[in-house]
Amino acid sequence: MNIKTKLTFGIGTLVLMIVLIIILSVVNLQIITDIAPSTTHAADALHTAILWIVSVGALCIIVGIILLFHLPSSIVNPIRKLVDGIQEIANHNYSKRLELKGTDEFIKVSNNFNRMSARLQEYHVSTLAEMKSGKQYLEAIINGINEPVIGMNNDFEILFINDKALSVMNLDRDNVIKVSAQKIAITNDLMRRVIRPVVDNVRPQDPIRLYADDKENYYQVEYSDITQPRKDRSGMEHKGYVVLLKNVTEYKLKESGSEFGRLELKPKITKPIELIDYALKVNNVQAEKFNIQIEVDYPEEKIGKLFVDSEKIAWVLTNLLSNAIRHSYETQELS
Instruction: Give me the percent of the chain exceeding a pLDDT of 70.
Output: 82
pLDDT at 64 over 60: yes
Res 169: pLDDT: 85
Amino acid, res. 193: R
Whole-angstrom Cα distance, residue 176 to residue 161?
Answer: 8
Q: Of 20-34, 206-220, 267-281, which has the strongest mean pLDDT?
A: 267-281
Whole-angstrom Cα distance, residue 143 to residue 136?
Answer: 10
Q: What is the mean pLDDT of residues 79-94?
A: 88
Domain positions in the chain are: 3-120, 147-255, 268-334
Strand partners, 158: 152
Res 214: pLDDT: 61
Instruction: Pick the more confident residue, 219 or 43.
Output: 219
Res 179: pLDDT: 92
Whole-angstrom Cα distance, residue 235 to residue 215?
Answer: 46
Whole-angstrom Cα distance, residue 218 to residue 207?
Answer: 6
pLDDT confidence tier of residue 332, bands split at 50, 70 and 90 = very low
* From the candidate CATH numbers 3.30.450.20, 3.90.1300.10, 3.60.15.10, 3.40.50.970, the one assigned to the domain spanning 147-255: 3.30.450.20
Whose CA is closest to 94, among 69, 68, 66, 116?
116
Per CATH, the homologous superfamily of domain 268-334 is: Histidine kinase-like ATPase, C-terminal domain (3.30.565.10)
Whose CA is closest to 240, among 191, 184, 178?
178
Res 157: pLDDT: 93
